[in-house]
Amino acid sequence: MNDSHTTFAKTLHWSFIVLYLYGIFKQVNALEELEDKELLVFEIIFASIFLIIVILRYSYMRRFKTFLGAREPVHIVHYYFARSVHKAMYACFILLPLTGLMIAGLYSQGYTVNATPDEEQTIMDFVLDLHGAVADLSYMLIILHIAAAIYSRLKGEGVWSSMVPILKEDKPTDNKIIKKISSIEEKVYDKVQTFFSSNKK
């Protein structure tokens, strides 16, 4: 136990954040901006590169188990919860460029208007809403992910040190409050596990 992620995995993790932030901050603000052919082509190239990098990253990372750095065995419920959050993040990183590419395709086919709710809705309005909803979901998942990483660091589980180059932990915490919260957390996981196993019977 107490393994660390590979240098390549760490490089992927941290450099991808730059790509993601660039994608979010340089975002197209309104459909009309796509009239600019150069911007449209740039967006298509960016979204394609983004998509390829996400697929390559996922293919590489899926061989490593979740909580690779944990010193102690992790509760099965906690494990599946974290794994689901990671998978949901990947789903967002795939859907963001995919819906972006769909917007580009539809725009080129003549769907150049973003209707207001009382106007007749087209497939373009649906894809634009989906694009925005996926972006919002990705923000929420990332906030949850970072909060979970900080909480794990406070507990001193070893997971933080396996990916983050600073503030590394060397032993589990002695802090009484964190230990208390952690024991409540374990009880919640036990309850969830009991609920699912009794539902199976």
Query: Residues interacting with ligand HEM, by CB under 6 A?
Result: 13, 16-17, 20, 23-24, 27-28, 30-31, 34, 40, 43-44, 46-47, 50, 61, 66-69, 82, 86, 89, 96-97, 100-101, 103-104, 114, 128, 131-132, 135, 142, 145-146, 149, 159-160, 162-164
Owner of token pair 């990483």: 149
Closer residue to ligand HEM, CB minimum distance, 171 or 201:
171
Owner of token pair 């373009």: 124
- Shortest CA distance to 183 belongs to which of 194, 172, 169? 172
Q: How far is the CB of 152 from ligand HEM (least distance, A)?
A: 7
Cα separation, 21 vs 33, whole angstroms: 20
Closer residue to ligand HEM, CB minimum distance, 33 or 186:
33
Closer residue to ligand HEM, CB minimum distance, 88 or 178:
88
Q: How far is the CB of 39 from ligand HEM (least distance, A)?
A: 8
Note the residue count of the chain: 201
Closer residue to ligand HEM, CB minimum distance, 77 or 128:
128
Token readout for 146 is 């970072």
Closer residue to ligand HEM, CB minimum distance, 186 or 191:
186
Q: How far is the CB of 185 from ligand HEM (least distance, A)?
A: 16
Q: Are 12 and 60 in contact (CB under 8 A)?
A: yes
Q: How far is the CB of 76 from ligand HEM (least distance, A)?
A: 14
Cα separation, 190 vs 77, whole angstroms: 8
CA angle 10, 12, 17 (to 5 degrees): 105
Q: How far is the CB of 104 from ligand HEM (least distance, A)?
A: 4
Based on its alpha-carbon atoms, the radius of gyration of the chain, rounded to whole angstroms, reads 21
Cβ-closest residue to ligand HEM?
Answer: 100
Cα separation, 106 vs 86, whole angstroms: 30
